[in-house]
Structure 1
Amino acid sequence: MADDTRSSSSGDGTVGGAPDRYDTAPGARPPAAGGLNAAWGRTSADLATDQPAGHAAAGLRSDPDLLAGSDDVTGGLGGTKIDPDAGGDIRRGRHRELHPEVDPDTRLGLRPTVSADRLPDQPADAPIDPRTRAATGAVAGLAGAAVVAALMYALFWSGQLAAPTFLAAERTLLGTRGWLDHAFAVLGFLAAGGIWGWLFGLLVPRPTLLAGVAFGLLPALFHWLVIAPLIGDGLFNRGTAAGVALPLLFNALVWGGIVGHLCHRWLRPPYDAVTTSAVG
């Protein structure tokens, strides 16, 4: 018969005199709190007292009494009483570091790492003088008209487009030929672009690119109702696809977009330009 060297299990859940942590027999005594893990059933304050002397520098220990800004307490960690006369928290019965109604920064005595906001509140945009807006709009309108004239002449000389409308209007009104009609037509078109830009700056207090595109519908409408009948193309260029689409393209999208963008860029406050460039 083989020798039975196994220790017998006692009735109180022990094996060989030691507690049996895995004994599931009826009536077995369950392990005490923390039997499987020394930290079970313990608070952080209890664990802080388990650290041996010299475990860490005084400023780095997790003992609440050693944290920066700790309250003046008496009576130890359990059931302490805060003395309000000693500068402590007016709440009684708990440390400031352990009180659930105190925010974490206050519990640990933390302070902001910077003395001021990284991006302070900016002042409200000061209203811009209408004359400044009008002058800015006139310059932007002149620039937009120059871009449109260059595009239309490029399409005209490449055979993709008929003579520019402003050239046909100049020939109808003045009847000049040769290089003079081109010079007068371009100068008149630039002047018209500056006038429309002046109106845009005067009427729109906060210009944007979309506002410029929307405003560009006005010169497009002027072309359909005044310029087109003047050169013999009829109202709305007789409703042809090119006669409706080209004024929208050149007057609203190109010219209006340029005017709105330039006015927005030139008239925005300096601090707005700095923060926008820093973010974007």
Structure 2
Amino acid sequence: VAAIMPRTARNAPGEKDESDHLAYSSFSHIENIDDLSFAVGLRYGDEDDVTEAIGRIIPMSRILPGKPAQQRGGQKDEGSLEECDNPECLARQDRYRELADANVSLRTQYEELELSLKMTLNKLQLMDKANKLAEDANDKLQEQLDEIRGRTSILEVEGSEGQKVNSQLKTKLSGLETEIATLRKQAEERRIAKEEAERSSASEVVFAPRGDFRQTHESLDVAALEKWSFLDGQGFNQPGSNSSRASTRKSAGASTQVSDLRSQRRSPKSKQPGSARSTPGRPGP
């Protein structure tokens, strides 16, 4: 048994510290009595002897039933209550009834006040929630306001720069307007000078001679073309007829003469009769 019970051992799980129970400090190392009873039973063999041996080894482990304690000063019999016909008793009873009735109304008022208090507390909680929501919304609005202020400051800086650029553009525009006015004035002066030059010019361009004139190659070609168109309208220029062949030959000769006259006009040395003259009022030869 001495080998089973070591001198020092730790507390079992769930047991309190030794300092809290100093009376059981010598036996706190025993975790389970069943193991001890099994070990002692191997030596003694009888269950009663094992219990008695364990009680001798560990006296505090023996459980002895206690004696029931008697109550001191029991309840006294107050006896039965009898109705009192004394006027004082009757007046006191009436007073008690009045107080009880007053308590009923007060209890009702108390319940109403308690109910109103609960409703007020609920309203306060709802108001707190609403205030929190409003504060969150105010925080968001404050953030948005800060962003708007930052954008406004940026726009103000950009606006000042735009005003500078606008002033520069206005200066350039005023210079361009001055140049445009100068050019318009010069154009007006040139137009007036041109009109005056045209008015003061005494030369007259004559595209045809006046009075009697002799036949030229151009007039002959035009007459041939008119005659050819007249004959074509009368039906003489049918395919295969002699008149059509003659008109074709005449038109070919007229076109050749027109091309020769055009080449002569282009050359500066050639001079044809009936050309334009610069002397006004004189007929051609």
TM-score of the superposed pair, with normalisation by structure 1: 0.25
Larger radius of gyration: 2
TM-score of the superposed pair, with normalisation by structure 2: 0.25
Structure with the bigger percentage of helix: 2
